[in-house]
Amino acid sequence: MSKADAYSAYIKDKAKQLGFLACGISRARFLEEEAPRLEAWLKKDYHGSMQWMENHFDKRLDPTKLVPGAKSVVSLLLNYFPEDKQQHEDSPKISKYAYGKDYHRVMKNKLHTLMQHIQEDIGEVNGRAFVDSGPVMERAWAAQSGLGWVGKHSLLLSQKTGSFYFIGELIIDLELTPDEPTSDHCGTCTKCMDACPTDAIPRPYEVDSNRCISHLTIEYKDAIPDFFRDKMENWAFGCDICQDVCPWNRFSKPHDETAFSPHPDLLGMTKSDWHEITEDVFREIFRHSAVKRTKYSGLKRNLDFLKSH
């Protein structure tokens, strides 16, 4: 077994011990095939109000510009599929990824722990950890490393576990054995496209953020346009529609990450609990959640919009 093989096996074993769902490796290189896609997507203005997507174009495609001397990209998945869902059908809904503690912190801690193990047991290895936190094309790297394929809804899909997981990376200057990409298994299915109430997936593998409910309820800071008045399907923060209808998600299994357990009051909140939520209750229930990103005022804006239609 070569050193690269041994190191790769070690990292995958440690990742499993730390509770990651899967770990895959790719060679750090310029993502030549992604460059025209990203450029075309930006030209169509499909990034909506996420102006930062225009920045660091080269870094987004070349990990060696983020970590000098980078040789490998280690992609990791962390399951967040919940055991229980919100109990009241008529209540405003939040995306399942926001039920528990903010994933940025939870996953970053695990990545840093993995990096410490690598440095302690392998030697002087330099690199950086990323969780949705830098100009990294995480889905492209995860697909390169064989963890799944990018589905028609633009999210990473796996035959074994669907799509309800977070993606993070370690970009490191250690030579590892890269994994082989997997093939696309969407076939002729268009369930995600057909189910989207705002037509945010105009073409397969392409999402128009301007129409995406997740973008409108989280990233978009102005008043939600009246066009979406009867199209939100009760989503107050994020949206899981395209994932919920995906046939591959019948293989999703509940996570066992205690940090992602919801606040005891969250899942039982009724329609009136949501619409009458005070800032104090918001702070208590979402103290550690990703919902904090939208702030109380942002969540109220979304709830008022839902109430008024």
By annotation, the residues acting in catalysis are 132
| CB contact at 8 A, 115 and 127 | yes
* CA distance from start to end of the chain: 63
Pairing label, strands 93-94, 235-237:
parallel
Contact by Cβ (8 Å): 93, 234: yes
Tokens, residue 67? 């970590």
**DSSP-based three-state secondary structure for 206:** strand
> DSSP E strands: which ranges in the chain?
22-27, 72-79, 93-94, 127-130, 149-150, 156-157, 165-172, 235-237
Q: How many CB atoms lie within 10 A of CB 211?
A: 21
- Specify the length of the chain in residues: 309
Q: How far is residue 74 from each of residues 107, 243, 271, 282, 296, measured CA to CA in Å?
A: 14, 25, 42, 36, 36
Q: Which residue carries 């011990």 as its tokens?
A: 17
